[in-house]
Amino acid sequence: MRYVSTRGTGPPVPFRKALMAGQAADGGLLMPERLPDVSGDLESWRGLTYPALAFEILSRFTDDVPEEDLRALVERSYSPACDGAGFDTPEVAPLVPMGDLYLLELFHGPTLAFKDLALQLLGRLFDYELERSGETMNVLGATSGDTGSAAIAALRGKSNVRVFVLFPEGRTSRLQELQMTTAPDANVHCIAVEGTFDDCQRIMKALFNDGGFKARWRLGAVNSVNCVRLLAQVVYYFHAWLRLPPDLPNGKASFSVPTGNFGDVFAGFLAAQMGLPMERLILATNENDILDRFFRTGVYRRGEVRRTPSPSMDIQVASNFERFLWWRLDRTGEAVRAFMSAFDSKGEARIEPGGAPPGSDRIVSGRADRGETLATIERWYRRTGRVLDPHTAVGVKVAEELRSDVPTVCLATAHPGKFPDTAPAGAKVGHARLAGLDDLPARKVVVPNDAGRVARYIESVCA
């Protein structure tokens, strides 16, 4: 299996090189050269544990990691909780009926967010490859809230990796920041940027696009620009479908996904392209609705980042959108480069209707504003006694609007305890993994919104 760039000019690379490179050499994003069709394997996968299913899917994307090694890495990644690591439930991602919807609980990992399901594996794959090569690595990531703490949980304390996390100063929840900044490990460096998440992501991409800087400091990526992270996220779509009642109408389900950076939605899109029986993929945004507007109008237009109760979705430039764009434009690197160039220079680009490959109409979209998000949290608490975090609430609200005759699975992306300010009055949302964070010493460095300043800080640590 080889991986190709969405920009079309970088050379194809094998799985292990795609893992370590993160971004493609030409500035594009890496994608599998082809997608396996697993539709004929679905029935044989019923009853598999989460790690067994993950191995079956991921093994189809690599031919340069021995099967026994990959199986062991996957098993360790989804192990039961112990000493603050691992998952709180042997199911890893329980599927829970909630009225006429289903919740796929993706928040049972070390940092109580869906990012753990990919980053626990990614961290072990990094460690495996570095031990094999005897090299070291500096992992750079940008986070709107949850990726940073999940990356730190996966990589903290490792002797062959430093992890640098960029996050927007004052724009994550208090507990999201504390999950990052209270990590005491010497290899963890938290960098608060005086700007938005889009600024953090822009800085990260600028440093990856500086070939000399990237090579000199051996940069690797944990954001969903790393295609291996997306492949790990594909697994829980299959896991959810396999746990639905087997007598589904037409055998299909729909999935509602709260999103800002388009990574989680694109993982679902890949699952459908691989043969998962999916009727619709419901893209749910908050007021930062660049993606909703695109799927309604074909126009991708940058706006001002708005602060909302769902901070991990406060994004206007969705980095994984380029992967969908590549597929939508018939995998033509030249067309992708032209679209992204127009967007970078004008803040707007468009795709004309017609000529789309099969599957384009599977994605539908909607949005929920602040009031609708908080009202959804309140309504479902009064109805079911269950508290939704504000990101999941966006997905539930849009799912209610766009539901059809087939079951709809709503991705529950974070534990509500990470966002106590949005919980209904009287609701108990605490979690043992969050208790006592306020009492721990915190470390971060605050830097201006400038790629050069971030680069100099990284150099000062690594030199």
Report the distance separating Cα 233 and Cα 227, nearest Å. 10
Residue 191 backbone dihedrals phi, psi, to 5 degrees = -120, 110
Report the distance separating Cα 54 and Cα 121, nearest Å. 10
Length in residues, the chain: 463
Give the residue carrying structure tokens 């966006």.
394
115 part of the active site: yes
- Residue among 191, 188, 189, 225 nearest 205 (CA): 225
Report the distance separating Cα 35 and Cα 40, nearest Å. 14
Catalytic residue among 115, 214, 252, 418: 115
Fill in the amino acid letter for 317.
V
Give one DSSP letter per residue of 394-461, joined into a string: HHHHHHHHH--SS-EEEEE-B-GGG-GGGSPTT-----TTTTTGGGS----EEE-S-HHHHHHHHHHH
Report the distance separating Cα 166 and Cα 201, nearest Å. 8
Give the residue carrying structure tokens 């009727």.
279
Report the distance separating Cα 264 and Cα 413, nearest Å. 10
What one-character DSSP code corresponds to residue 411? Answer: E
Chain centroid to CA 379: 27
**CA dist 453 → 136, 177, 204, 447, 458 (Å):** 23, 21, 12, 7, 9
CA atoms within 13 A on the CB side of 171: 26
Whether 283 and 313 have beta carbons less than 8 Å apart is answered as no
- Indicate which residues carry an active-site annotation: 115
